[in-house]
Chain A
Amino acid sequence: MKVRALRSILFALGVSTLTAGAQAADKIRWLNDWLPAGDKAVIYLGVQEGLFKDAGIEVEIMTGRGSSDVVTKLGTGAGDMGSGGLSALMQAKAGAEVPVTAVMSIYTRQPDAVFVAEGAGIDDLKDLQDKTLATATFSASNVTWPLVLEANGMTPDAVKVLKVDPGAMGPMFATGRVDGTINWITKLPAFQALAKDAGKTVKVLPWSEYGFNGYGLSMFASDRLIEENPALVKKFVAVYKQALEMAVADPAKAGAALKAMVPDIDADIAAEEFAVSAQLIDTDIAKQDGLGAFEPELLKETWAWVAKAQNLPADALDPEDAVTRAFIPE
């Protein structure tokens, strides 16, 4: 009786959140893919500068726990739009019917990197042979890492990888318990600040320099929203792009906007973090194809890495099905 009562409460609450989402026409429940930090600043800048308000959109910002969490929450109606790695969406869509589609690219270079200490004799991927790296237990980078090694003529077990809590990686690196860490490049300022305390300087080996190409962070929308209110999606994407350009031009402003909405943030570190992620946004690819675009070739390459990493047949997903270009502003 209790279990059933609980289930009906769960169901009733679930339904009420779904319908609430459907009714509020000009409200977007936005999901960031991780805890507030500088690289998530764009959405906050858009809100603080009143860009969304001027377009008649109310934005509620929520914090997801990883890209696949964002995909799940958008798919089940716990959010409307959000940011996450395109690989995570492709992986989810290859395995099941997932009503979420990418509507705009944000990173045109993959953010994954290896952080090592300057002067430790590690200047190239090959120098990592027999070294030990720390990585976050649930990081999506973990599945791609062996492939990056293979693509560079190394065996997958050439480097020892320890899976730890994200909060423990910096301290382990600073104390020299590991030779390096696997991180998104956007985490560099926080690491640099910590390493400085330990008398070290962080050196970055971006995977994109070792053949790991593809779209990284992208904007997702739930198919329900796309179907019910495509005009709103179009409007939202256009405003977001405007905020994105504003942030790239002035990372300090982006950091300050984040600080204004999340008081616990250090505005300077946030500005630095956004400046680093701007290198993944404002790339040669983006300059050539236009900000936000999905080019078929790079899309195919993004999927090829996912398929290989997940051991999926190449035809498990048509990468074109993961994206739509209908909302990307000219």
Chain B
Amino acid sequence: MRRTLLSALDRGAPLIAALLLLLIWEAACRLLTVPSYLLPTPSAIVQSAFQVPLSSWLDHTWATLRVSLQGYALAVLIGIPLAVALANSRLLSRALYPQLVIIQSTPIVAVAPIIVVVLGAGDAPRVVITFLITFFPIVVSTVTGLLATPPAMMELSRSLGAGRLRAVRDIQLPFAVPYIFSALRISVTLAIIGAVVAEFVAAENGLGFFIAFSTSFFKVPQAFAALVVLVSLSLALFQLVALTQRLLFPWSLPKTEP
């Protein structure tokens, strides 16, 4: 009896903690009469969220989601093959790795306005900015995973006469799957960040744009509501990637889920 209660408490702990935090937040704002333009109460945020028409939310959310997913897809499509090439060719890796590090070391936020000027209006500059922010972790993590293949396995496959392509497909890539998915999970949240950065620089809609727009009229609760939507979007995508791994590569999961 006591055990079931404890285990229920254990399972509910995150939810209870979150609710408690919201309550403290609400109470603190009310007791200390913090004005809503400094820190709105959770109830004010919810209220302002409902004042914005649903069509408006859908419009902004879709704009951000569309750019994030396009940039992310581009990063996956370019990042993984590039990683395979880097892991299998010393020459390529020597030639390209420094350039990749340079791209990664460039603060994309600073380059974003230039990218917008070069690519003009439309989704293109936003997709490129998202791509630049997301693709590096994918490349690095995939290369690490590919190189983690035990050399003995590679030697064995070579001695059995397997071609290079087959060794990559049947030995290296399966070994890299856990690494690839950990990068895919990180990158999908980065994709949202990338889209928001791009929207701060140039956009007509999107959640990042909506936050800038809301604060320009000092509608802070509304900006917070947009932030909540952004975080939810990010979490949903994160879970979606995790689910994909669980469905397609259940063997690649660690023995105990953290």
Q: Measuring CB to CB, which residues of chain A are less than 8 angstroms from any residue of chain B?
A: 1-3, 6, 9-10, 13-14, 17-18, 29, 34-37, 60-65, 69, 72-73, 76-79, 165-168, 170-171, 174-175, 190, 193-194, 197-198, 263-264, 266, 269
Q: Does B218 contact A (CB under 8 A)?
A: yes
The answer to whether B117 and A73 touch across the interface, beta carbons within 8 angstroms, is yes
Among residues of B, the one whose C-beta sits closest to the C-beta of A170 is B218
Q: Does B100 contact A (CB under 8 A)?
A: yes
Closest Cβ–Cβ distance, residue A246 to chain B (whole Å): 24
Of listed B96, B120, B212, B213, residue having the most chain A CB within 10 A: B120
| Bound Cα distance A53, B218 (Å) | 34
Given contacts A14-B119, A73-B116, A174-B35, 18 further A-B pairs with CB under 8 A are A3-B103, A6-B128, A37-B217, A60-B121, A62-B121, A62-B202, A63-B202, A63-B209, A65-B201, A69-B113, A72-B117, A167-B212, A167-B223, A170-B218, A171-B35, A171-B218, A171-B220, A175-B35
The answer to whether A29 and B117 touch across the interface, beta carbons within 8 angstroms, is no
The answer to whether B99 and A3 touch across the interface, beta carbons within 8 angstroms, is yes
The answer to whether B213 and A35 touch across the interface, beta carbons within 8 angstroms, is yes
The answer to whether A65 and B202 touch across the interface, beta carbons within 8 angstroms, is yes
Closest Cβ–Cβ distance, residue A250 to chain B (whole Å): 22
The answer to whether B53 and A76 touch across the interface, beta carbons within 8 angstroms, is no
Instruction: Return chain B residues, CB-CB under 8 Å to A193.
Output: 218
The answer to whether B121 and A78 touch across the interface, beta carbons within 8 angstroms, is yes
6 smallest CB-CB distances across A and B, nearest first, come from: A167-B215, A17-B120, A78-B120, A170-B218, A171-B37, A194-B218
Closest Cβ–Cβ distance, residue A229 to chain B (whole Å): 19
Instruction: Return chain B residues, CB-CB under 8 Å to A64.
Output: 202
A13-B124, A14-B118, A63-B203 in contact; A35/B96 too (CB < 8 A)?
Answer: no
| Bound Cα distance A65, B200 (Å) | 9
Residue from B78, B103, B210 within 8 A of A264 (CB atoms):
B210
Q: Does B7 contact A (CB under 8 A)?
A: no
Among residues of B, the one whose C-beta sits closest to the C-beta of A60 is B121
A13-B119, A17-B120, A72-B117 in contact; A264/B35 too (CB < 8 A)?
Answer: no
Instruction: Return chain B residues, CB-CB under 8 Å to A6.
Output: 128
Interface size on B, residues (CB 8 A): 41
Could you name 7 residue pairs across A and B whose Cβ atoms are closer than 8 Å?
A17-B120, A17-B122, A35-B212, A65-B113, A78-B121, A171-B37, A266-B217
| Bound Cα distance A10, B117 (Å) | 11
| Bound Cα distance A284, B118 (Å) | 41
Q: Measuring CB to CB, which residues of chain B are less than 8 angstroms from any residue of chain A?
A: 35-38, 52-53, 55-56, 78, 82, 95-96, 99-100, 103, 113, 115-122, 124, 128, 201-204, 209-210, 212-218, 220, 223
The answer to whether B52 and A264 touch across the interface, beta carbons within 8 angstroms, is yes
Residue from A3, A35, A79, A264 within 8 A of B56 (CB atoms):
A264
Instruction: Return chain A residues, CB-CB under 8 Å to B118.
Output: 10, 13-14, 76
A63-B204, A170-B218, A264-B56 in contact; A29/B121 too (CB < 8 A)?
Answer: yes
| Bound Cα distance A78, B223 (Å) | 29
Closest Cβ–Cβ distance, residue A190 to chain B (whole Å): 5
A14-B119, A166-B216 in contact; A263/B78 too (CB < 8 A)?
Answer: no
Instruction: Return chain A residues, CB-CB under 8 Å to B116.
Output: 73, 78
| Bound Cα distance A175, B37 (Å) | 9
Closest Cβ–Cβ distance, residue A222 to chain B (whole Å): 12
| Bound Cα distance A35, B219 (Å) | 14
| Bound Cα distance A53, B158 (Å) | 70
The answer to whether A2 and B119 touch across the interface, beta carbons within 8 angstroms, is no
Residue from B78, B117, B215, B220 within 8 A of A76 (CB atoms):
B117
Instruction: Return chain B residues, CB-CB under 8 Å to A34.
Output: 216
The answer to whether B121 and A79 touch across the interface, beta carbons within 8 angstroms, is yes
Closest Cβ–Cβ distance, residue A62 to chain B (whole Å): 6
The answer to whether B128 and A10 touch across the interface, beta carbons within 8 angstroms, is yes
A35-B212, A263-B56 in contact; A2/B120 too (CB < 8 A)?
Answer: no
The answer to whether B55 and A263 touch across the interface, beta carbons within 8 angstroms, is yes
Instruction: Return chain A residues, CB-CB under 8 Å to B36.
Output: 197
Among residues of A, the one whose C-beta sits closest to the C-beta of B38 is A171
| Bound Cα distance A167, B209 (Å) | 13
| Bound Cα distance A63, B201 (Å) | 10
Closest Cβ–Cβ distance, residue B166 to chain A (whole Å): 25
Closest Cβ–Cβ distance, residue A296 to chain B (whole Å): 33
Closest Cβ–Cβ distance, residue B74 to chain A (whole Å): 10
Instruction: Return chain A residues, CB-CB under 8 Å to B115.
Output: 10
| Bound Cα distance A190, B128 (Å) | 35
| Bound Cα distance A64, B117 (Å) | 11
